[in-house]
Amino acid sequence: MHKITLAAVLLGLSSSIALAGPTVTVTFKNQGKTDVRYQVIGKNEIETQANASPKPVSVVPAGRSDTYYIASPLSPDVNYAFVRYTDGARQCEFRTTFVNVPKPGGLLNNGVIPKVPQWNKTATGSGGAFCNAEITYYNMATLEWSVEFTMR
Q: Helix or strand or coil: residue 15?
A: helix
The answer, yes or no, to whether the previous bond of 54 is cis (omega within 30 of 0) is: yes
Question: In angstroms, rounded to a whole number, what is the distance separating the alpha carbons of residues 144 and 124?
Answer: 24
Q: Comparing C-alpha atoms, which of 17, 14, 12, 19 is closest to residue 100?
A: 19
Question: In angstroms, rounded to a whole number, what is the distance separating the alpha carbons of residues 99 and 91?
Answer: 27
Confidence of residue 3 (pLDDT cuts 50, 70, 90): very low
Q: Find the mean pLDDT for residues 48-64.
A: 98
What would the pLDDT profile of 109-122 be if each residue is shown by its tens digit? 677 888 999 999 99
What would the pLDDT profile of 88-108 be if each residue is shown by its tens digit? 999 999 999 999 998 887 677
What's residue 122's pLDDT? 98
What would the pLDDT profile of 123-135 be if each residue is shown by its tens digit? 999 999 999 999 9
Please name the residues in contact with 98: beta carbons below 8 A apart, sequence gap of 6 or more. Answer: 21, 22, 24, 78, 79, 80, 117, 118, 119, 120, 143, 145
- Its pTM stands at 0.84
Q: Average per-residue pLDDT in the chain?
A: 88
